[in-house]
Structure 1
Amino acid sequence: MSYPPTGPQQPDRPEPAGGWGVPPASGYGSGAPAPQQHGDGSQQGQYGQQGQYGQYGQQGEHDQYGQQGQYGQYGQYGAPSGPEPGLPQAQVGIIPLRPLRLGDLYEGAFRAIRTNPVVMFVLSGIVVTVLAVLTYLVSAGPLAELAAWTPSDPETLTQEDLDQMTSTLGSLAVTTGITSLLSLVVTTLLTGLLMQTVSQAVLGRKLSLGEAWRESAPLFARLLGLTLLVTLLVVAPVGIAAVLAVLTFAAVGLTAGALVTFLLVVVALAAMLFLATVTLLATPALMLERAGVGTALRRGWRLGIRSFWRILGIYLLTSVIIGVVSGMISGPGSSLASLASPTVAMVVSVALSALVQAFTTPFLASVVALLYIDQRIRYEALDVELAAAARR
């Protein structure tokens, strides 16, 4: 089930095809005049001519796109405040087919979960619960050893004590690495599948679990490769800053080294935020355009850099909301459970963590997918393609 169907994907081409249609390269169709630029960057194409999006401008059942008809004037949707009052809004699924406001993004994310709770919530709950249980089982042994280990008096610390502490910390580091890698893989695949479900909900379609799996599974290998590459890119500034800090301390001494290290930390954090923002839309680009890894990174950059501060602000706000909600749910429960035995406290902590992630994972995936759709509506007139695809 392509969305909208436009042909097979060429993974390594600069501009992807397939999945969500071909994004315009230099215009909106051969021979079509250049699109008009609006105040917020949205564009109004000449849909009445034969071009990249087909002959949507011919007079027919749904009137002419670009003129006032069933879907209104697309050019009026360019303003952040929404469409011109009095014009109808096309909405066949979870969001109106126009540039989205913050409220539209969050409302669309909630609607995506309510529209398909089996895939969006139940599946997420099962996956994160199994992952949390596996993490607990793998980490329980080293954590118990570390909790039970009582160091001797520092003056009488023996080599046996040091060996025991080293062995316990080594085991804990190995298990933490294994569980972190497992969590990354599982969460990545789940996020890709959820984004596929959200993309169809925009068209008013409800994917079954089997359909969502068939649409997403062929892209999982590429998705894992993209996630690992993005992770390396985002954490690279920290590694570079650490190396430079060590060299600085060795060259200029403690006082000057501390000042330079502080500046390096600030620069590294800013670089991490920048890279995380411009790569945020690469995942939905890969899943919904069925693009290759390199193509998805380029698409994510092109879509993300055009509204960098808006995307960064929305992503940070969403992360803060998720953090607050997670703390409100898991904090009091874990505190009460800690009054009981350590085993009870651990079980309650795992259960609450799974419950929180069962909701926050699909919510965050939905927001990112809708941000991608919003960017394409603003700059590539995707709403016209979506309106046409919804009628097919």
Structure 2
Amino acid sequence: MAYGSTPYPGPPGYGGWMPPPPPPKPGVIPLQPLGLGEILGGAFSTIGRHWKQLLGIALATYTAVALVVVAAIGLAYLAVSDRLDRVLDPSGDHAPGWDEIGPLVLTFLGVYVFGMIMLLVANSVIYASCPAILQDAVLGRPTTFGSVWRRALSRTWAVLGSVLLTALVSVVPLLLAGMMFIGIVVSMITLTVAGTGEYAWVILVGFLGALATGPVAIWLWVRFSLAPAVAVFEGQGAVASMTRSAQLVRGAWWRIFGISLLAYAMAAMASYLIQLPLSVLNALPSGGASLSDDASNGGVAATIIITSLAFGLISTLIGQVLTAAFPQLVSSLLYVDQRIRNENLAPSLIEAAAVPRGAV
């Protein structure tokens, strides 16, 4: 053989080349630095294996929050119904002033803020349940609804604190967006009643303000996006979780932003695709019956209403689970990935899973 030529590979164990053993994979991800496909695949695998726990927690949480918000809307309407009737009265000969519109705006703005807070509370329970499930899913251990529920509730307040503090960075653009929406509604009312659009300036201020403050809010949101996972995995408090999240995100902001954005887009698309056939099925039973038929069709009408509500609730719940749980599962896997890359977490996970090195 000529000098410098490549030697022929010998048999394994006799100086020949052998590929490195694959990384251990006791659960939904291989215990190595993760690529995009492994992160997304791990999130999908977690949903497939533990959908009962996710769906059960979501059902209990969002049902309770929906009842509270509906009650708040009802109380708000009862409080301002007389004033609302006067503002919407088409027989009025002058445009309603701020002394008439102002209380309505403040009342329903308060309901809007309350609804956002309650949604944050509900999402915090989901955000806490996702890392709680991943603690077992990554290690390949079975889990139950009760164990996930207990772990999630024990960390919900820390997660809620981090979520609320993170949400503060988006309060200004959200309020400006709400201001723009209110300006649109008020302008439509004044145009309908008096033919004037004197409150149109509110729309412009809200739009420009949201456009100016939005990028800063996005940058801060990405820096603190791993805080819920930190709160559950490491048992940290709200402020410590946000500090730890900023530390883990440092140097990987664009990667985490891109993967998180993709996860939200995929969740929204999957939610739409799941709700679409349910919406079609929801419309099918009403095709051959009318709610105005005689009493003999009362049972059919009741069946239509109950079926429609059932399909609507199921599709809404599944859509909300996907849009809330899937991105948070991705964020939790990003947390695991960052610790594997920067803190050599893989050996600890291998030991915890009782998987010897080099085994699958």
TM norm. shorter chain > 0.5: yes
Q: Does residue 241 of structure 2 align to residue 296 of structure 1?
A: yes
1:35-46 matched pairs, under 5 angstroms: none
Partners in 2 of 1:320 and 1:277 — Cα distance? 16
Correspondence for 1:313 among 242, 255, 258: 258
1:143-222 matched pairs, under 5 angstroms: 149=85, 150-153=88-91, 155=93, 163=100, 169-222=105-158
Tell me the residue number matched to 1:224: 160
Tell me the residue number matched to 2:334: 371
Q: What is the SS of the residue equivalent to 2:52?
A: helix
Letter in 2 for 1:301: A
Q: What is the SS of the residue equivalent to 2:353?
A: helix
Q: Quick check: which one's helix share is greater?
A: 2
Q: What is the SS of the residue equivalent to 1:96?
A: coil
Contact 1:237/1:271, CA 8 A, preserved across alignment:
no
Of residues 284-293 and 178-187 in structure 1, the stretch that sits farther from structure 2 once superposed is 178-187
Partners in 2 of 1:176 and 1:273 — Cα distance? 22
Tell me the residue number matched to 1:71: none
Tell me the residue number matched to 2:354: 391
Q: What is the SS of the residue equivalent to 2:236?
A: coil
Per-residue CA deviation, residues 89-131 of structure 1 (Å, 9 max, x unaligned), is 2100110111111111111111112222221223223432443
The gaps in structure 1 that reach 5 residues or longer are 1-83, 242-257
Quickly say closer, same or farther: Cα 1:289–1:239, change in 2 above 3 A.
Answer: same
Tell me the residue number matched to 2:268: 323
Contact 1:223/1:286, CA 8 A, preserved across alignment:
yes
Partners in 2 of 1:140 and 1:348 — Cα distance? 24
Measured after TM superposition, the shift of residue 348 of structure 1 is 6.2
1:88-99 matched pairs, under 5 angstroms: 88-99=22-33
- Percent pairwise identity: 26
Quickly say closer, same or farther: Cα 1:121–1:301, change in 2 above 3 A.
Answer: same
Partners in 1 of 2:127 and 2:351 — Cα distance? 27
Q: Does residue 317 of structure 2 align to residue 354 of structure 1?
A: yes
1:125-136 matched pairs, under 5 angstroms: 125-136=59-70
Contact 2:127/2:324, CA 8 A, preserved across alignment:
yes
Measured after TM superposition, the shift of residue 213 of structure 1 is 3.3
Per-residue CA deviation, residues 14-33 of structure 1 (Å, 9 max, x unaligned), is xxxxxxxxxxxxxxxxxxxx
Quickly say closer, same or farther: Cα 1:328–1:189, change in 2 above 3 A.
Answer: same
Partners in 1 of 2:277 and 2:67 — Cα distance? 21
Q: How many residues align?
A: 290
Quickly say closer, same or farther: Cα 1:219–1:329, change in 2 above 3 A.
Answer: closer
TM-score (norm 2): 0.67
Tell me the residue number matched to 1:7: none
The gaps in structure 2 that reach 5 residues or longer are 1-17, 178-202, 292-303, 356-360
Measured after TM superposition, the shift of residue 222 of structure 1 is 2.2
Contact 2:162/2:238, CA 8 A, preserved across alignment:
yes
Partners in 1 of 2:317 and 2:118 — Cα distance? 15
RMSD: 4.1
Per-residue CA deviation, residues 286-341 of structure 1 (Å, 9 max, x unaligned), is 11011122321121001112211010001111112222333444468669869999
Contact 2:159/2:227, CA 8 A, preserved across alignment:
no
TM-score (norm 1): 0.62
Tell me the residue number matched to 1:276: 221
